A and B are shown apart, each in its own frame.
Chain A
Amino acid sequence: MNQTETAIEFKGVSKTFGNFYANRKLDFSIRKGSIHGLIGENGAGKSTAMKVLFGVQPADEGEILVNGKAVKIRNPVHAMKLGIGMVHQHFMLADSETVLDNIMLGHEPSTFFGLLKRGKAREELEKICKNYGLKFTKWESRIRDLSVGEQQRVEIIKLLYQKSEVLILDEPTAVLTPQEVKELFENLRKLKQEGKTIVLISHKLKEVLEFTDSVTVMRRGEVVGTKTTSETNEDELAEMMVGRKVSFTYQGPRRILSSQAVQPKSVLKFISERVSVELRPGEILGVAGVQGNGQTEFLKALSNPSVYGEKYFKGKYDYLVNGREIGDATPLQLRNMGVGLVPEDRLSEALLKQQDMTENFLLGQHEDPRYTGLGLFGRMINRNKVKAAVEKNIQAFDIRPPFSTVWTGRMSGGNQQKLVMARLLDPQPSILLVAHPTRGVDVGAIEKIHEAIMMERNLGKSVILFSSELDELIDLCDRMVVFFDGRVHGEFARKEFDPWAIGKVMGGA
Chain B
Amino acid sequence: MNRMMKASLKSIAGVLLGLTLALIVCHFAGESPWKVLKVLFQSSFGSGYDFGMTLFYAAPLFLTGLAVSIPIRAGLFNVGGEGQLLIGALAAAYAGVVGKNIASPVAAVLFATAFAFVAGGIWGLIPGILKAKRGSHEVITTIMMNFIAAGLSSYVTLYLIKDPESSQAETMLLPEAFHLKPFEKFAGAPMGWLIFVLIALVFVIHYWMWNSVRGYELKAVGENEKAAETYGISKQSAWMFAMFMAGGMAGLVGVVEVLGNAHRFKLGFSADYGFVGIAVALLARGNILGIIPSALLFGILQKGSASLDLETDKVTRDLSYIIQGLIILGVVAEGLFEWRKKAKNA
**Are A and B close enough to touch in the complex, i.e. CB under 8 Å?**
yes
A1: shortest Cβ distance to chain B, in Å? Answer: 41
Question: In whole angstroms, how far apart are the Cα atoms of A353 and B219 in the complex?
Answer: 12
Most buried by A among B213, B214, B223, B226: B213
Question: In whole angstroms, how far apart are the Cα atoms of A311 and B217 in the complex?
Answer: 24
B224 contacts A351, C-beta separation under 8 Å: yes
Cβ proximity bits B203-246 to A, threshold 8 Å, 1 near / 0 not: 01001100111101101100110111111110000000000000
Given known A-B contacts A352-B223, A366-B216, A380 and B211 have beta carbons under 8 A apart? yes
B232 contacts A378, C-beta separation under 8 Å: no
A378 contacts B214, C-beta separation under 8 Å: yes
Question: In whole angstroms, how far apart are the Cα atoms of A380 and B231 in the complex?
Answer: 18
B227 contacts A351, C-beta separation under 8 Å: yes
A17 contacts B231, C-beta separation under 8 Å: no
List the B side residues contacting A379 at CB < 8 Å: 212-214
List the A side residues contacting B211 at CB < 8 Å: 375, 377, 380-381, 383
B205: shortest Cβ distance to chain A, in Å? Answer: 9
Given known A-B contacts A372-B213, A378-B212, A364 and B223 have beta carbons under 8 A apart? no
List the B side residues contacting A438 at CB < 8 Å: none
Cβ proximity bits B113-139 to A, threshold 8 Å, 1 near / 0 not: 000000000000000000000000000
List the B side residues contacting A343 at CB < 8 Å: 227, 230
A298: shortest Cβ distance to chain B, in Å? Answer: 15
Which residue from chain B places its CB closest to the CB of A346 in the assembled complex? B227
Question: In whole angstroms, how far apart are the Cα atoms of A401 and B187 in the complex?
Answer: 57
Of B214, B224, B232, which one neighbours A330 at CB under 8 angstroms? B232
Given known A-B contacts A331-B231, A355-B219, A366 and B213 have beta carbons under 8 A apart? yes
B212 contacts A363, C-beta separation under 8 Å: no
A348 contacts B229, C-beta separation under 8 Å: no
A363 contacts B231, C-beta separation under 8 Å: yes
B208 contacts A377, C-beta separation under 8 Å: yes
A304: shortest Cβ distance to chain B, in Å? Answer: 7
Question: In whole angstroms, how far apart are the Cα atoms of A268 and B223 in the complex?
Answer: 32
Cross-chain pair count, CB within 8 angstroms: 76
List the A side residues contacting B226 at CB < 8 Å: 348-349
A360: shortest Cβ distance to chain B, in Å? Answer: 9
A383: shortest Cβ distance to chain B, in Å? Answer: 7
List the B side residues contacting A363 at CB < 8 Å: 220, 227-228, 231
List the B side residues contacting A307 at CB < 8 Å: 229
For chain A, the count of residues having a C-beta within 8 Å of the partner chain is 33
Question: In whole angstroms, how far apart are the Cα atoms of A380 and B211 in the complex?
Answer: 6
Given known A-B contacts A351-B224, A380-B211, A341 and B233 have beta carbons under 8 A apart? no
Query: Is A350 an interface residue when CB atoms closer than 8 A count as contact?
Result: yes
Given known A-B contacts A18-B345, A377-B207, A352 and B227 have beta carbons under 8 A apart? yes
B230 contacts A350, C-beta separation under 8 Å: yes
A364 contacts B204, C-beta separation under 8 Å: no
B230 contacts A304, C-beta separation under 8 Å: yes
Query: Is A354 an interface residue when CB atoms closer than 8 A count as contact?
Result: yes
Question: In whole angstroms, how far apart are the Cα atoms of A380 and B250 in the complex?
Answer: 25
Which residue from chain A places its CB closest to the CB of B224 in the assembled complex? A352
B230 contacts A17, C-beta separation under 8 Å: no
Query: Is A46 an interface residue when CB atoms closer than 8 A count as contact?
Result: no
List the B side residues contacting A352 at CB < 8 Å: 219-220, 223-224, 227
Query: Is A303 an interface residue when CB atoms closer than 8 A count as contact?
Result: yes
List the B side residues contacting A350 at CB < 8 Å: 227, 230
A411: shortest Cβ distance to chain B, in Å? Answer: 15
Which residue from chain A places its CB closest to the CB of B344 in the assembled complex? A17
Given known A-B contacts A349-B226, A352-B224, A353-B224, A362 and B216 have beta carbons under 8 A apart? yes
Question: In whole angstroms, how far apart are the Cα atoms of A348 and B230 in the complex?
Answer: 10
B223 contacts A355, C-beta separation under 8 Å: yes
List the A side residues contacting B212 at CB < 8 Å: 375, 377-381
List the A side residues contacting B219 at CB < 8 Å: 352, 355, 359
B232 contacts A331, C-beta separation under 8 Å: yes
Which residue from chain B places its CB closest to the CB of A17 in the assembled complex? B345
Question: In whole angstroms, how far apart are the Cα atoms of A351 and B225 in the complex?
Answer: 10
Given known A-B contacts A348-B224, A366-B213, A332 and B232 have beta carbons under 8 A apart? yes
A348 contacts B204, C-beta separation under 8 Å: no
Question: In whole angstroms, how far apart are the Cα atoms of A353 and B220 in the complex?
Answer: 10
Question: In whole angstroms, how far apart are the Cα atoms of A391 and B53 in the complex?
Answer: 50
B204 contacts A377, C-beta separation under 8 Å: yes
A152: shortest Cβ distance to chain B, in Å? Answer: 26
A348 contacts B227, C-beta separation under 8 Å: yes
Question: In whole angstroms, how far apart are the Cα atoms of A381 and B220 in the complex?
Answer: 14
Query: Is A335 an interface residue when CB atoms closer than 8 A count as contact?
Result: yes
List the B side residues contacting A335 at CB < 8 Å: 232
List the A side residues contacting B217 at CB < 8 Å: 366
- Can you identify 18 A-B contacts, CB atoms within 8 angstroms? A304-B230, A304-B232, A307-B229, A331-B230, A331-B231, A341-B230, A343-B230, A350-B227, A352-B219, A352-B224, A359-B219, A362-B216, A363-B220, A364-B231, A364-B232, A372-B213, A378-B213, A378-B214
Among all A-B residue pairs, the 6 with the closest Cβ atoms: A331-B232, A364-B231, A332-B232, A379-B213, A352-B223, A377-B208
- Residues of B near any A CB (own CB < 8 A): 204, 207-208, 211-214, 216-217, 219-220, 223-224, 226-233, 345
Known: A330-B232, A341-B231, A348-B224. 5 other contacts (CB 8 A): A341-B230, A351-B227, A353-B224, A363-B231, A372-B213
